[in-house]
Amino acid sequence: MTPLDPQQQAARDWFESLRDRICAEFEAIEREAGSDASFDYIPWDRTDESGEPGGGGVRGQMTGDVFEKVGVNVSTVGGTFSEEFAKAIPGAEEDPRFFATGISLVAHMRNPHVPAVHMNTRFLTTTKRWFGGGADLNPALPKPQDTEDFHARLRAACAAHDPTYYDRFSKWAEDYFWLPHRNVARGVGGIFYDRLEAEGDKFEPHFAFTRDVGEAFLDIFPQIVRRRMNEEYDEADLGSLLDFRGRYVEFNLLYDRGTLFGLKTGGNIDAILMSLPPLARWT
């Protein structure tokens, strides 16, 4: 993989620093629950389609008393897209060389009253440059207060950059996180954005927005976890959790762009599929 330019290095550094802060906060929650669970960090290397070294990443995973399975992955990869996949990526049809760096997080919780969550932000370059990502809440047992607080925090992050962002990106999440074969949403939404241009003078403001999405997630999700993690639940609640997770699996394997990107670019299989829950059911 070629050396990183200043923008690529800045994005990589940010995603890695955000990973460290999120993992520290999640471990702090485990300590509050009386658990000594901590993250295991597993590095991986990627070989590009050309046969040359193609970067890699670090897969962070923890199993605890609050977090049944949480993965926080960072990756920085580059090389050449396959001819077929290049046709679907902006700028790659002209030149198949690419670079991508990002953070991807999925948390599945033991208590059915604590929502699962997904957060991902990324920076990609071909002959074009752009940011993408977002965050969305996925409760098996939805709580209006949690939904409202999660959306309010993301709305505030969006409003600081562009008054149109929240309406646009929350609608995008509503449309994207949808299972058409079941005619149901994957969760209660959030925001989703992609191909937010990062060329020339657009890099700094859109990088700042991407950072603020990460900050918003780090602020609000731990609050929701602490609010719900000690609530009592029964077998019926656990059944609802397992059924919901089945829908989550269906979306990630059938429709998720990140899963497809990882598989098409030779990513680490365990990191790509870390979004899948440890237990699920189909009835």
- CATH, residue 173: 3.40.1500.10
Q: In this model, does residue 261 exceed pLDDT 90?
A: no
Q: Is residue 168 part of a domain?
A: yes
- List 59's β-bridge partners, or say none: 42, 73
Q: Report yes or no on 269 lying in a domain.
A: yes
In a domain, 214, yes or no: yes
Q: pLDDT band at residue 281, thresholds of 50, 70 and 90?
A: very high
**Distance between CA 198 and CA 175 in Å, rounded?**
24
Residue 60 inside a domain? The answer is yes
In a domain, residue 130? The reply is yes
**93 inside domain:** yes
Distance between CA atoms of 91 and 84, rounded to whole angstroms?
14
Q: Which residue has the tokens 């959306």?
A: 151
Q: How far apart are CA 232 and CA 202, in angstroms?
A: 48
Mean of per-residue pLDDT scores for the chain: 95
DSSP 201: G
CA–CA separation, 151 vs 170, rounded Å?
9
Q: Determine which one of 118, 151, 181, 206 is catalytic.
A: 118
Q: Give mean pLDDT, residues 176-185.
A: 96
| Residues forming a β-bridge with 101 | 76, 123
What is the number of other CB atoms lying within 10 angstroms of the CB of residue 180? Answer: 8
| Contact present, 185 and 179 (Cβ < 8 Å) | yes
206 is annotated as an active-site residue: no
The structural domain count of the chain equals 1
Residues counted in the chain? 283
Q: Is 42 left (phi over 0), alpha (psi -120 to 50) or beta?
A: beta
Range of the structural domain that residue 146 is part of? 6-275
- Do 81 and 91 touch, CB atoms closer than 8 A? no
Q: Where is pLDDT greater, at 150 or 85?
A: 150
Pick the closest to residue 118 from 183, 43, 180, 186 (CA basis). 186
The Cα–Cα gap between 125 and 104 comes to 18
Give the model confidence (pLDDT) of 80-126 as tens digits. Answer: 988 778 888 888 888 888 999 999 999 999 999 999 999 999 999 99
Question: Which amino acid is located at 41 in the chain?
Answer: Y
Three-state DSSP class for 66?
Answer: coil
Asked if 136 contacts 173 with a C-beta cutoff of 8 angstroms, the reply is: yes
The residue-averaged pLDDT of 1-21 equals: 95
In the three-class reduction of DSSP (H, G, I as helix; E, B as strand; rest coil), residue 147 is classed as helix
Whether residue 281 is contained in a domain is answered as no
Is the pTM above the cut of 0.75? Answer: yes
Tell whether 282 is covered by a domain. Answer: no
Distances, alpha carbon 29 to alpha carbons 205, 214, 241, 282, in Å = 32, 18, 21, 31
Phi, psi of 127 (to 5 degrees): -80, -5
